[in-house]
Every structure is written in C-alpha cells, then in structure tokens.
C-alpha cells in the first residue's frame, strides 16, 4: 500500500539517495547517525525550512571520495547554481563542498567554533573536579586513620567544593545575563575559588560576543585577531588549540559575516531524524526507514 516495493531508488537506497529537483542556492552539509551509530552524509536545502523538498542527497558513510562520486551524479548545471554551503570544520566536508559545488561560498558553522570554546571551559572545570574528589578522598582517609569523623567544607550557598564544581556545568554554558539568582551566587563562589575558570569562561563568552554582535567581515577579522592575542596571554593549552583551529579555517569562518549563515537548519533536520527514529523505536529496515523519511522531507 505504501508503494515501497515500486520505489525508484530502492535498489541503491542503502548506499545513496539523490533528489536533484530539491537543489537550491543555499545548502547545508552535515552528518547524522541512522542506526547503531552508522553515519550518513546529508545534504539539505535551507529554503525548504525542514519541510517537503529539504533532502537533496543522503549518502552512506563520510568518506569524501565516496560522497563526491555520488554527488557528482547530480547535473552540473544544477550544482553550479549553488551560491553558499554551510558545514562544520571537518576536512572531508570541505573537500566535498569544493569538488561538487565549484561556485559556492563555503561557510564554517559558527556554533561548531563556539562549541569548542565551551568544551575547553568544561575541560578545565572537570580537571578541578577530579582534583577536588582526590582531595576529599585523601581527607577521608586521613580522618579515618586518626579515628575522627570527616566533615566536608560547606560553602556559602550550601554546596561542598565537589558539588560546586559538578553543579556549575550548566552555569558555564550560559551567558551571565541568563543566570538565575542561585546560578549567579554559585558562579561568584566558583570564580572566586578558581580564577582560571573565570578567565576561560570570559574567553568563551568573548568569542560568542564577536559572532553575535559583529556585522561586517572586516570587523570580525579585527576582533578575532584581538581575541587570539588574549588567548596567547592566557596560557591555556586548549584555547591555544582552538585559536590555531580558527586560524586554519579563517576564510570560511569569516564568510559567516557576509550573510550570517549557520548550519542550524542541518542540526534541526538531524533532530527531526532522531525524533522520527525514536517514534518508530529504532531502525530495523534501513531502506524502509529512508523511504518513509523521504516521503515527508524529499
């Protein structure tokens, strides 16, 4: 009844799906997992806004050569019409976009850049948390040897140091203007006890501020250069790595300031795939799952 057996892409559905008529001027390139962690490269049309006509191509795997071979089956005249592609910082994605869409401007997704900075802050918090756990274990063992009861230090807000570091996770993800009163109090104590976390938090928020407030590419370039200087003086190895990564992708990152394009549409579509997969309690038949998915979104 679904006409699945008569589907014209059934023979190669597990390997690739192509919908040439859905190509638009602005595309997103990303990867997603369908079942058991199997990755697929997904090309989507931004103008479809996550509805019918969104899927341009789905290719099994993330190998650049394989994906390029499939996408080059799309008519060249249609591929030449693509003006802009948003993608992450993976080298394979960059190569795919360059080879298959020669006229398109590549834009590195700003949220992938910001995510690296947020992860660097969390890495520092986790480092201090392990140190706090070790210190507490040593204090407990010492008290036990002295046949005394162990009483952890209770901070102003009622947290122990270990709890403070654990409960600060979401505080460090958010901008301070979005903190609740409890989160603000926790942040004040955290930054007082661990000034290095405060410095790292400010660096991550300054990077966010550059992307949120800068409207022209030249100012974006200048502000990022100043941010690099601050990173160099901070002494944080993880932030220095982020700084080098940004430098290696400078051109495509700065292209964001032309139209302020992001890969948010691709991430939103990935979320829809996950929700669709959860609704049917997983993927038993990959071909039939892709058939149902394309009936709605292609």
Q: What is the pLDDT of residue 26?
A: 93
Say how many CA atoms lie within 13 Å of 283 toward its Cβ.
Answer: 21
Percentage with pLDDT > 90 across the chain: 49
CATH no., domain 4-109+262-297: 3.30.420
pLDDT at 141 over 70: yes
pLDDT digits (tens, 9 = 90+) for 187-196: 999 999 999 9
Residue linked to tokens 């409207």: 215
What is the band of 2 on the pLDDT scale with cuts at 50, 70, 90? confident
Instruction: Determine which of 32-36, 132-136, 280-284 has the lowest per-residue pLDDT on average.
Output: 280-284
* N residues, the chain: 298
Cα 204 to chain centroid distance, Å, stands at: 15
pLDDT at 147 over 90: no
Q: What is the pLDDT of residue 6?
A: 79
Under a CB-based contact definition with an 8 Å cutoff, are residues 89 and 249 in contact?
A: yes
Residue extents of the structural domains in the chain: 4-109+262-297, 111-252
pLDDT at 1 over 80: no
pLDDT at 280 over 70: no
pTM for the model: 0.83
The pair of three-digit structure tokens given for residue 135, joined into one six-digit string:
């210190």
CB under 8 Å to 46, separation ≥6 — which residues?
24, 26, 27, 28, 86, 261, 265
What is the band of 270 on the pLDDT scale with cuts at 50, 70, 90? confident
Q: What is the pLDDT of residue 90?
A: 84
| Tally of CB atoms within 10 A around 155 | 17
Under a CB-based contact definition with an 8 Å cutoff, are residues 200 and 124 in contact?
A: yes
What is the band of 198 on the pLDDT scale with cuts at 50, 70, 90? very high
pLDDT at 63 over 70: yes
Provide DSSP, 236-284: -HHHHHHHHHHHHTHHHHHTHHHH---SHHHHHHHHHHHHHHHHTTS-S
Residue linked to tokens 């700084």: 243
Task: Give the burial class of 67: count Cβ atoms within 10 A of its Cβ; 0-12 exposed, 13-18 middle, 19 or more buried.
Answer: buried
pLDDT at 37 over 90: no
User: What sections of the chain are H helices per DSSP?
Assistant: 64-71, 76-79, 91-100, 110-145, 161-167, 169-173, 181-193, 195-213, 217-234, 237-248, 250-254, 256-259, 264-279, 286-297
Whole-number mean pLDDT of the chain? 89
> How far, in Å, CA of 99 to CA of 80, rounded?
11
Instruction: Determine which of 29-43, 53-67, 127-141, 219-233 has the lowest per-residue pLDDT on average.
Output: 29-43
The pair of three-digit structure tokens given for residue 146, joined into one six-digit string:
């002295």
pLDDT at 96 over 80: yes
């Amino acid at each position: 009844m679904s006409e699945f057996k008569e589907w014209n892409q059934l023979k190669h559905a597990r390997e690739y799906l192509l919908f040439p008529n859905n190509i638009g001027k602005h595309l997103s390139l990303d990867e997603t997992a369908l079942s058991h962690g199997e990755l697929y490269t997904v090309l989507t049309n931004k103008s479809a806004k996550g509805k019918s006509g969104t899927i341009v191509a789905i290719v099994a795997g993330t190998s650049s050569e394989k994906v390029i071979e499939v996408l080059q089956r799309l008519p060249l005249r249609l591929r030449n019409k693509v003006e802009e592609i948003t993608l992450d910082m993976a080298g394979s994605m960059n190569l795919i976009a360059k080879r298959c869409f020669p006229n398109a401007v590549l834009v590195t997704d700003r949220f992938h850049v910001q995510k690296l900075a947020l992860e660097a802050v969390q890495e520092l918090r986790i480092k201090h948390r392990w140190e706090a756990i070790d210190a507490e274990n040593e204090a407990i063992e010492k008290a036990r040897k002295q046949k005394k009861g162990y009483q952890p230090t209770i901070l102003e807000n009622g947290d122990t140091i270990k709890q403070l570091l654990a409960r600060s996770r979401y505080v460090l993800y958010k901008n301070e203007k979005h903190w609740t009163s409890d989160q603000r109090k926790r942040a004040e104590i955290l930054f007082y006890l661990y000034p290095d976390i405060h410095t790292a938090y400010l660096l991550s928020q300054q990077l966010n501020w550059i992307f949120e407030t800068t409207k022209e590419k030249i100012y974006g370039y200048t502000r990022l250069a100043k941010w690099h200087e601050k990173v160099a003086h901070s002494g944080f190895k993880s932030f220095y790595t982020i700084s080098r990564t940004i430098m290696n992708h400078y051109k495509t990152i700065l292209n964001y300031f032309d139209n302020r394009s992001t890969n948010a549409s691709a991430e939103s579509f990935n979320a829809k795939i996950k929700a669709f997969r959860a609704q049917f309690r997983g993927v038993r038949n990959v071909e039939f799952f892709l058939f149902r998915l394309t009936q709605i979104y292609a």
